[in-house]
Amino acid sequence: MKRTSPAATSVFVYGTLLSGEPNHHLLRGARLVGPARTRPCFTLYDYGPFPALASKGQHTVAGEVYEVDAPMLAALDRLEGHPRFYQRSPITLDGGARVEAYLFPKARLAGCPTIESGCWRLHLQERESW
């Protein structure tokens, strides 16, 4: 059984960092824990080229969890503009695991469409067919 490094941070990704998506290369070398879903207390928004996850919603959001080391976490923070653009925060997933996720301030999402499915990949497929 592979042990978790004490310096590893579990991060929930739900958009452009997902496997096969444009920013996934930043997770090269990270350990994939597996697919995951949030508890039904978030909302996923379409922010144009990427999604935005906000707390205090009513949806379950689909994603993946990766274990990252400190340099990789710093690279993710830079990509996500933490803490000025996205804010990395601890969340609890469906099943009880505690992970870090990049949340977007809900006040800056006025007028953005919600992604009712809670799945960025499904939303991209639907958006392509519009």
**2 within some domain:** no
The token duo for 32 is 């994939």
From the first residue on, what is the mean pLDDT of each consecutive set of 10 residues in the chain (130 residues)?
67 98 97 98 96 96 98 98 98 97 96 97 89
Alpha carbon dihedral 54, 129, 80, 85, in 10-degree steps, equals: -50
The pLDDT, as a whole number, for residue 58 is: 94
Cβ contacts of 109 within 8 Å, gap of 6 or more: 45, 47, 52, 54
β-bridge mates for residue 87, sequence order: 103
pTM > 0.85: yes or no: yes
**3 within some domain:** no
The pLDDT, as a whole number, for residue 1 is: 38
Give the active site residues. Answer: 80
Number of domains in the chain: 1
The pLDDT, as a whole number, for residue 6 is: 61
The pLDDT, as a whole number, for residue 5 is: 55
**1 within some domain:** no
**Where would I find the H helices in the chain?**
70-80, 120-128
**Residue numbers of the domain that contains 55:** 9-128
